Amino acid sequence: MPPSVTHQLTWPRRTANRVRGLSRLSPTAAAGVVIIVCFGVLALFSEWFMTHDPVSSYPDRILQGPSYEHWFGTDGNGMDIFSRVIYGAKFGFGIAIPAVIIAVLIGIPVGLIAGYRGGALDEILMRIFDGLRVFPSIILALAVVAATGQSLLNVVLVLGFLDSPVFARLVRAEVLALRSSNFVESAIAAGNPTWRILFFHLLPNTIQGAMAQTAVRAAWAVRISATLAFLGIGIQAPTPEWGAMIRQGAEFMVTGQWWVAIFPGIALIFLVFGLNLLGDGIQDILDPRRRASK
**Is the model's pLDDT at 59 over the cut of 50?**
yes
- What's the pLDDT score for residue 120? 86
Whole-angstrom distance, CA of residue 194 vs CA of residue 223: 38
Q: What is the rounded average pLDDT for all residues in the chain?
A: 83
Could you give the percent of the chain with pLDDT greater than 70?
87
pLDDT tens by residue, 243-253: 889 988 888 88
145 burial level (CB within 10 Å; 0-12, 13-18, 19+): buried
> Which H or E run includes 38?
helix 27-44
Q: Is 256 helix (H, G, I), strand (E, B) or coil?
A: coil
Whole-angstrom distance, CA of residue 202 vs CA of residue 193: 13
- What's the pLDDT score for residue 25? 65
pLDDT band at 23 (very low <50, low <70, confident <90, very high): low
Would you tell me how many other CB atoms lie within 10 Å of the CB of residue 12? 9
**Is the model's pLDDT at 292 over the cut of 60?**
no
- What's the pLDDT score for residue 6? 45
Whole-angstrom distance, CA of residue 34 vs CA of residue 20: 11
Q: Given CA atoms 151, 152, 158, 162 in this order, what sign does their dihedral have?
A: positive
- What's the pLDDT score for residue 104? 93
Q: Please provide residue 58's backbone torsions phi and psi, each rounded to the nearest 5 degrees.
A: -120, 90
pLDDT tens by residue, 120-171: 888 888 888 887 777 777 777 777 777 776 677 888 888 888 889 999 999 9
Whole-angstrom distance, CA of residue 197 vs CA of residue 199: 6
Could you give the percent of the chain with pLDDT greater than 90?
18
Query: Cα 156 to the chain's mean position, in Å?
Result: 11
Burial annotation 47-64 (CB, 10 A radius, 16+ → b, else e): eeebebebeebbeebebb
Parse the chain into domains and list their residue ranges. Answer: 24-44+62-289
Q: Closest by alpha carbon to 238, among 39, 71, 57, 32?
A: 57
Any idea which fold 24-44+62-289 has? Answer: MetI-like fold (1.10.3720)
